[in-house]
Amino acid sequence: MVWRLLRRNISVWQTAGYALANFVGLSIVLCALKFYCDVRSGEQGEDPYVTRDYIVISKKVSGIGGLLGADNGFSPDEISEIAGQPWSRRVGEFTSADFNVSASLDMGGRGMSTSLFLESVPDEFFEITPSGWSFDPESDNAVPIIISKDYLTLYNYGYAASAGVPQISEGVVGMVPIRLSVSGNGKQKWLKARVVGFSSRLNTIAVPDRFMDWANSQFGEGKPMNPGRLIIETVSPGNPKIEDFLKSHGYEAAGDKGASGKAAYFLSVSTAVVAGIGAVICLLFRSMSARIRHTDAECVASASEKPRQAAQPHAAGLYSRLCQPLLFHNCRCGQLCGACRRRAGDAVGVGSVAGAA
């Protein structure tokens, strides 16, 4: 009976539509939650396919300031201000070499030498952790170097093509012996070195912090230097407040991190919007389902009440035809009194109806 009442008040197509709407809403919410979990796992370093977002910033160099030798480094107060921003998770400093560096190597029977610059960055800001990334000044081990992948691309498709020298791969570069000449402060020393990795994040020639501290103390002039570049790990990449902060302080970011960061920020906002739409669909479905259940309950109650109302006139007629003549005949008082009416009503199950007859 209940199924018949449901089919009378709601059609099969309506039921299918409500079920489909609920399925779509739940699917949207689950997809949004899955995407959010993937992004969060990437930010926490758990997913190797989603990397954290870093930006490298420096101060703008003006023509007059550069000629006059103005210091474009970041002071400790400026570094503390950047680290205290809500979008900044941590800040790393680039330490520059305070000595002269040159490198020489032999490739294909040709000897090459060039002046170099070296920098060091805290290890946690590298996306790779190559083996042998350490330095001991007391040992004869080679100095490990990490260079940008862009440098190898420039060599293979720029210098090698024009100079007629062979192109090399990343694996071959690691096997090429390099000799470093470090000099300064009246001292000079030759060191062995080798390339142990390539970085897509850092556009520099990096050495371990321990080597940089040792070399600056041995060959540097000893004057304090503020870092010229900073690397920042951001909490919310693409946050418009990052760009506003850099512009207001005269800083500039290296590369095209702004476009990729804005895309990531747009994806996070889109995820929230999609999850909200799915939640609204589910809430609407629940509201409609509750309204349908309320209507069905009223229908069932009405249907169960009608048979009782229909039975009362039938029982009253039965009382008039059968019980009333018999009671009137047996009534001692000679008339059908109220007590006789109540007994008759209890006998046929009509109660007050019998009493009102």
Task: Report residue 352's pLDDT band, with 50, 70 and 90 as the boundaries.
Answer: very low
Q: What pLDDT does 284 receive? A: 67
Q: What pLDDT does 13 receive? A: 67
Q: What pLDDT does 327 receive? A: 43
Q: Around 197, how many Cα atoms within 13 Å sit in the side-chain half-sphere?
A: 18
pTM of the model: 0.61
Task: Report residue 57's pLDDT band, with 50, 70 and 90 as the boundaries.
Answer: very high
In angstroms, rounded to a whole number, what is the distance separating the alpha carbons of residues 92 and 116?
22
Backbone angles phi and psi of 153, in degrees to 5? -65, -40
* Summary mean pLDDT of the chain: 74
- With CA atoms as reference, report the closest residue to 230 among 88, 86, 99: 88
Q: Which residue has the higher pLDDT, 76 or 140?
A: 76
Say if residue 52's pLDDT is above 80.
no
Q: What pLDDT does 26 receive? A: 72
Q: What pLDDT does 94 receive? A: 95
Q: Which residue has the higher pLDDT, 94 or 60?
A: 94
Task: Determine the residue type at 8.
Answer: R
Q: Which residue has the higher pLDDT, 205 or 13?
A: 205
Say if residue 261's pLDDT is above 60.
no
| Max Cα distance, the chain (Å) | 145
pLDDT tens for 296-321 read 555 545 555 545 554 455 545 544 55
pLDDT tens for 101-131 read 999 987 666 677 889 899 999 999 988 888 8
Burial class, 310, CB count within 10 angstroms (exposed 0-12 / middle 13-18 / buried 19+): exposed
The neighbouring-strand residues paired with 231 are 56, 92
Q: What pLDDT does 145 receive? A: 94
Helix (H) or strand (E) holding 101: strand 100-107
- Give me the mean pLDDT over the 180-208 stretch: 92
Q: What pLDDT does 312 receive? A: 52
Q: What pLDDT does 50 receive? A: 41
